[in-house]
Structure 1
Amino acid sequence: MEFLVIALVLIIGFGLFRYFRQRNILNTLTEEQFREGYRKAQLIDVREPQEFKRGHILGARNIPMTQMRHRLIELRKDKPVYLYCQSGSRSTRAAQLLHKKGYQDINQLKGGFKKWSGKIK
């Protein structure tokens, strides 16, 4: 029983640590906030190419999460980065990678592409 309590405390502690760490490196923006800034930023769709071809936010570049590490040279550190994926999990992982590589102004679309109601291509 004591082992279960310790395990539960560790799991909850790790979850809280990840939650607060994510908030420090990534701004999660509503669709309205995202629209206000993405035209002045690097808009990156981190979904796979076949998902991107089925529809994406107008003006987005496709750099899949699976290729992000090898394509970092395509992103500038001096401009904000606006990320999105289908629901938000891949863009969170992409933000963590970018933060480790020295990027500062990292933003993601809350709810991902499935919540986007703006223009798409």
Structure 2
Amino acid sequence: MVKANIVLNAKGLACPMPIVKTKKKMKDLKAGEVLEIQATDKGSTADLQAWAKSTGHEYLGTEAEGEILHHFLRKGEENFSDSVPAILEISLEAFKQKVESDEPLNILDVREVEEYEEAHIPGVVHIPLGEVEKRSNELNKDDEIYIICHSGRRSEMAAQTMKKQGFKRLINVVPGMRDWTGKIE
């Protein structure tokens, strides 16, 4: 197992809390030091990989020990720009009105397979966050795309990844499926 300078207990927490706690704890480390995040949320692996990449930290890997996932991140250089281009947001209520109006929409659900299979908006495209970078070519870069996850955090990371690939009309749905009350499959 990788030797960590600090251990963060994120067991029992669901998205977006492992990322929120990781972001706060990372401030306690110096560049080059390693943070171990102990989590039980299966989606935390893809979340932490994407977050590390977007913030200049190094994802070192994940080791499973029963139900506990031990994620390891090395803090990047202090001068890495934490400012990423802003992604447009739409409130869940305004998004629900668009969905219910039956106007044609391109919706991308970036939750993990288990979350998606439990319930999703009819007609969405499903690409888990961890696969967005390599599968975004399945989508049209010129389309307006609404991106949704559980809370709005993973969808924001997916949008950042897609923006770097040339997508220009991305809209993050906030807060996400956690509070969705519309039709589901």
**Superposition TM-score tier, normalisation by shorter sequence:** 0.7 to 0.9
- Post-superposition shift, 1:35? 3.3
* Partners of 2:133 and 2:119 in 1: CA distance: 24
How many corresponding residue pairs? 105
Is residue 148–residue 173 contact of structure 2 (8 Å, CA) maintained in 1?
yes
Fraction of identical pairs, as percent: 32
Aligned-residue CA RMSD in angstroms?
2.2
Q: What secondary structure is seen at the aligned counterpart in 2 of 1:34?
A: helix
Query: Where does structure 2 lack aligned partners over 5 or more consecutive residues?
Result: 1-26, 28-77
- Post-superposition shift, 1:28? 1.0
| Structure whose alpha-carbon radius of gyration is higher | 2
Which residue does 2:142 correspond to in 1?
78
Moved over 4 A (4+): 36-39
Higher helix share: 1
Q: Determine which structure has greater relative contact order: mean sequence separation of CA pairs < 8 Å that are 6+ residues apart, divided by chain length.
A: 1
Higher strand share: 2
Alignment match of 1:93 (pick from 143, 153, 157): 157
Alignment match of 1:32 (pick from 68, 93, 96): 93
TM-score (normalizing by structure 1) = 0.76
1:2-23 superposed Cα distances (whole Å, 9 cap, x missing partner): xxxxx8xxx9xx76x35xx32x
Is residue 41–residue 79 contact of structure 1 (8 Å, CA) maintained in 2?
no
- Post-superposition shift, 1:37? 4.4
TM-score (normalizing by structure 2) = 0.51
